[in-house]
Amino acid sequence: MILVGEPSLGKDEKTALAEVVDANWITMGSRVSGFERAFAESHGVAAAAAVSSCTAGLHLALAALDIGPGDEVLVPSMTFVATANCVLYVGATPVFVDIESLHRPLISIEDAARKCTERTRAVIVMHYAGYLVDRQAWLDFAQSRGLLLIEDAAHAAGAPGAGTIGDVAVFSFYGNKNMTTAEGGMIFAREESVLNRIRQMRALGMSSGTHERLQARAPLYDVTMLGWNYRMDEFRAAVGLVQLRSLRKWNETRRDLVSRYRDVLSEYCPAVSVPFGNAVEPSAYHLLPAILPAGSDRKAIMERMRDTGVQTTFHYPPVHALSFYRSRYPSGPLPETDAFAERELTLPLHPKMTNSDVRRVADALANALCTGRADPEASQ
Ligand SMILES: Cc1ncc(COP(=O)(O)O)c(C=O)c1O
């Protein structure tokens, strides 16, 4: 089976994990701080805070920026549910924004402008499939309206410039991401004071950590703000340090596979299009979203591809249409999001794939599309 995504784990990760066991210090310590430094440096920023997940990091971002009850936060609906959940965690209200188009499924500035009210405090942009939103346009948008800008950079690890657009940015290291720690996340903040607040909030608001207290021989701590236990541990950081060494190479492989997909799909499946065709913004090439012809039976296509050993999925069921959100936070029409959600099919993309795998996927899709075509006579 060619899977949609697969982690690349090997003997270096095993060795790094064994070293943590031997070191006998397993909670947040020198590996976590080393991973923070290395990840920050690899993205050209001064500092970072590692956390237990991107979801936790997004919660901390909003909390540290003092977003709360009475505030509205603009979010894309074409995203993973975590992007909207974090708004609810702080008691604020998510306001769903459409995407630009089928071919650029990134949060739309025009629709965001329409959705602004006097209660809007912030906007969360999400770099769908790893393609960065337009930096200058969003900086201007946020600045001209006095809004905070947060990047959900879950898909964008390693993309040049990722994490440097927003007041706060959060990456994910979940198992299907471009690099993984199984569960985990990383936070950047433009202001050092915000990052320091985030550091304290991830550890229950305590003024110092266990490792720091041991090193400083200062057993006492104070709690000066509300916090949560969103810490990363040494095992995850050790794996993260190893994975980070390959991130650039893996993203280059992903880029080459995407380019191969574009060629092969236009030959085998000309009715299928791949978004971001003329993208100028950098990308981490996290996903390969394909747009099926209008009216396609996606479920049948997925089943047929699965039968020939190709896993597919879709990103995402739009958040505004999920039962929990639909009933509590009804949104106006999001026509581009709805059209994209109906026709998007995510094809396999990960650095273990080869060009011949790409050919096999395209072949499977071409066959599934042919046999999946509605037969007008059959329904009579
Ligand atoms: C766009 C997006 N945001 C947030 C998250 C949440 O990340 P995590 O699983 O690290 O909490 C994900 C993870 O799948 C995601 O894809």
Give pLDDT tens digits for 263-317. Answer: 999 999 999 999 999 767 799 999 999 999 999 999 999 999 999 999 999 999 9
Give me the residue spans of the domains in the chain.
11-242, 247-372
Distances (CA, A) of 290 to 3, 144, 182, 287: 16, 35, 27, 10
Q: How confident is the model at residue 375 (pLDDT cuts 50, 70, 90)?
A: very low
For ligand 1, say whether the CB of 185 is within 6 Å of any of its atoms: yes
Is-contact 226 206, C-beta < 8 A?
Answer: no
Residue 208 has pLDDT above 90, yes or no: no
| CA geometry: angle 203, 12, 131, nearest 5 deg | 65
CATH architecture designation of domain 11-242 = 3-Layer(aba) Sandwich (3.40)
54 Cα: distance to centroid of ligand 1 (angstroms) = 6
Tell me if 125 sits within 8 A of 147, measured CB to CB.
Answer: no
Find the mean pLDDT for residues 195-199: 97
pLDDT in tens, 103-153: 999 999 999 999 999 999 999 999 999 999 999 999 999 999 999 999 999
pLDDT at 252 > cutoff 70: yes
pLDDT at 372: 57
Nearest CA to ligand 1 atom 8: 54
DSSP 3-state of 148 = strand
Query: Crossing angle of helices 192-202/54-64, nearest 10°?
Result: 120
Q: What's the fold here for domain 247-372? A: Aspartate Aminotransferase, domain 1 (3.90.1150)
**Pocket lining: 154 vs ligand 1, CB cutoff 6 Å:** yes
Q: Look at residue 205 and give its three-state secondary structure.
A: coil
This prediction has a pTM of 0.96
pLDDT for residue 377: 44
Q: Is the CB of 82 under 6 A from ligand 1?
A: yes
Distance 172 CA to ligand 1 centre (A): 6
Going by DSSP bridges, is the β-strand pair 104-107/49-51 parallel, antiparallel, or unpaired?
A: unpaired
> Band of the pLDDT at 379, cuts 50, 70, 90?
very low
Distance 372 CA to ligand 1 centre (A): 32
